[in-house]
Structure 1
Amino acid sequence: MITIADVEAAAEQIAGHVLRTPTVSSPGLSALLGVDVTAKLELLQRTGSFKARGATAKLLTLGEAERAAGVVAVSGGNHGIGVAVMAGELGVEATVVMPRSAPGRAVDIVEESGANVTLVDTMDGAFALVEELRAKGLTLVHPFDDPVVIAAQGTVGLEFAEDAGELTDVLVSIGGGGLIAGVATALHARRPGVRIWGVETEGARAMSAALASGGPVPVELSSIVSTLSAPSVSRRTYEHASALVTDVVTVTDAEAVQGVLDLADHAKIWAEPAAGCLLPAARRVLERVGEGVKLGLVVCGGNATTTDVAAWAGRFGLR
């Protein structure tokens, strides 16, 4: 498992390449949920999500031969954007493998950044193709199963701990678990006693399944939230979650999309469903822990178009 020293070292490494995103008290969300809410606005990060942190850290570790050979990444959207943009800035050729379910805008941004894009039918197929490309000499920039990446994602938690007021409970979305592993490491070191809650959608329950099974297991993916759709977590991220996370809350896709609308209406934040899922999860957490909560939300990304959200809202009959 990574340590707070790893996270602090990552913060020094990526400084100057990524932003220290705002941490703000939200009167609108506080009124909506009935408790004090502080939001870490990682959707304002370069590339629109926290993924730029881990991608930058990994790219900066490459030797000359690895830089010359190039890197490969697998992504449902945000990780691919992060790798493509940051690789372009650092002069490294990148190949990004994405499922066809990935948001069209994400694919466009990856291509516009100069990366090579390959689309496959499923996320499982994407991971399989990446292994073939690794065998040809490309260096993998894994979306979550890498201590360098996890430590860099943990800088979100480091900044949150330094910039927020009192917090009792912090909610973090989970795909493969890299973000929550890093954030939980940082927060437990800097804010002992804070409870960390993971959030997944019902059609992408990789961490919930792992915790129930005592280790990573493959899951069938059916969620519209492609940025949270990992076919399984890794042993590394599972170990962090089992040790540091209070519990993982599951919400429906419809609830996640309603959360996007609520964030826009009440917090003036345009987020993606991977962040929208935090609001329905927060209500479940509040039912469990009672009064006196000081809630923190890691608003992980904002790479959803108005067209995407309108289509999802229409599909679920939301207003």
Structure 2
Amino acid sequence: MIELADIQAAADRIADVVVHTPTLPSPGLTELLGVPVTAKLELLQRTGSFKARGAAAKLLALDDAERAAGVVAVSGGNHGIAVAVMAGALGVAATVVMPRSAPARAVEVARAAGADVRLTEDMAGAFALMNRLRDEGVTLLHPFDDPIVLAGQGTVGLELADDAGELTDVLVSIGGGALISGVAAALRARRPGVRVWGVETEGAQAMSQALAKGGPVEVPLSSIVTTLSAPTVSQLTYDHVTALVSDVLVVSDAEAVRGTLELAEHAKVWAEPAAGCLLPAARRVVERVGGDARLGLVVCGGNATVADVTTWAGRFGV
């Protein structure tokens, strides 16, 4: 388990290369949900998502031999962008493995940053290729099975704890679980009374299935939300969620896309469905805990194109 000192050390390490993103009350979301809402706008982070934090923390912790070997990462989109951009900025060669279902923009941005992008048929194949390259000597920069990466993502929670007003409940999206693990560790240390809730989409339910089965299991992936589509969580993230998170809620792809449109209309931010899924989950949290809730939403990323969201909205009729 990572501790507050690990997260603070990561914050010091990455302070010069990442953005301290805004944490702001949202009048529009407050009106929409009927309780006070504060948004942590991590979509304004470098590379368009929180992933830059964990990538930078790991890259800056590498020794000379690890840097010389270059890094390999697997990604449904945002982690690949972050690794490519941050590695390029720090002079480290990067290979990024993505499934063909990854957003075209993510592939383009990673390549433009100088990464060697490899495409596989599916996410399981992407993880398999990543592991093969690791075995051949390339340094692994895992998206969620690394305590240094978790600590880097946990700096989101440190900033939220420092910058937000009173909160009772914080909602965080889950893919492989690094963000919620780090945020929960930071918040539970700084604000022990705050409840943390995870959110997944149907067809990308690695954490909720792990909780149901008593440990990490492989799950079939079918969600359009590729940035949350991990084939399994790690023991590391499972342990953090088991210890620190109140529950993991699962919403449909259609609800996540509707949430993206609601964030644009009511919060005036252009987020991706990996963040849009927070809004339907927030309604459920308010139903469970009552109208005295004061919500914090970690708006994790904004790397969805207008064309993508328009297509999904038409597909789901939202």
**TM-score with structure 1 setting the length:** 0.99
Question: Which residue is 2:312 aligned to?
Answer: 312
CA deviations on 1:97-141 (whole Å, 9 max, x unpaired) are 000000000000000000000000010000000111111110000
Which residue pairs with 1:273 in the alignment?
Answer: 273
User: Any idea what SS the aligned residue of 2:295 has?
Assistant: strand
Deviation readout 1:214-236 (Å, 9 max, x if unpaired): 10011000000000000000000
Distance 1:218 1:135 in 2: 21
The answer to whether 1:289 aligns with 2:289 is yes
* 1:111-122 matches, cutoff 5 A: 111-122=111-122
Which amino acid in 1 is paired with 2:159?
E
4+ long deviations beyond 4 Å: none
* 1:173 shift after superposition: 0.1
Q: Distance in 1 between matches of 2:60 and 2:14?
A: 8
1:53 counterpart = 2:38: no
Which amino acid counterpart does residue 5 of structure 1 have in structure 2?
A
CA distance in structure 1 between the partners assigned to 2:61 and 2:16 by the alignment: 16
Superimposed CA distance per residue, residues 279-308 of structure 1 (whole angstroms, 9 cap, x where no aligned partner): 000001111111211000000000000000
Answer yes or no: is 1:249 the counterpart of 2:249.
Answer: yes
Counterpart AA for 1:34: G
Distance 2:88 2:306 in 1: 27
Deviation of 1:41 after TM superposition, in Å, equals: 0.2
2:130, 2:258 → 1: CA distance?
34
* Whole-angstrom distance in 2 between the partners of 1:204 and 1:265: 26
Aligned AA (2:197): W
Q: Which amino acid aligns with 1:30?
A: T
- Residue 106 in 1 paired to residue 106 in 2? yes
1:66 CA drift (Å): 1.4
Superposed counterparts of 1:1-319, under 5 Å: 1-318=1-318
SS in 1 for 2:67: helix
1:242 partner SS: helix
Per-residue CA distance 1:32-89 (angstroms, 9 max, x = gap): 0000000000000000000000000100111111111100000000000000000000
RMSD after superposition: 0.5
Q: Tell me the distance in 2 between the aligned counterparts of 1:293 and 1:134.
A: 45
SS of the residue corresponding to residue 216 of structure 1 reads coil
Structure 1 unpaired stretches of 5+: none
- 5+ residue gaps in structure 2? none
For residue 315 of structure 2, what is the amino acid of its counterpart? R
* Residue identity matched to 2:101: S
Residue type at the aligned position of 2:209: A
Report the Cα distance in structure 2 between the residues aligned to 1:299 and 1:130, rounded to whole angstroms.
28
Give the secondary structure class of the aligned counterpart of 1:16: coil
Letter in 2 for 1:131: N
Question: For residues 186-236 of structure 1, what are the alpha-carbon distances to aligned partners after superposition, in whole Å with 9 as ceiling and x for unaligned?
Answer: 000001110000000011000000111110011000000000000000000
Instruction: Using the aligned pairs only, state the percent identity.
Output: 74
1:284, 1:101 → 2: CA distance?
30
Q: Give SS of 2:203's match.
A: coil
Quote how far apart the aligned CAs of 1:245 are.
0.2
Letter in 2 for 1:16: D
Whole-Å Cα distance in 2 between the matches of residues 309 and 161 of structure 1? 31
Spell out, residue by residue over 1:259-289, the C-alpha distance to the aligned partner (whole angstroms, 9 max, x if none).
Answer: 0000000010100000000000000111111
| Separation in 2, partners of 1:289, 1:256 | 22
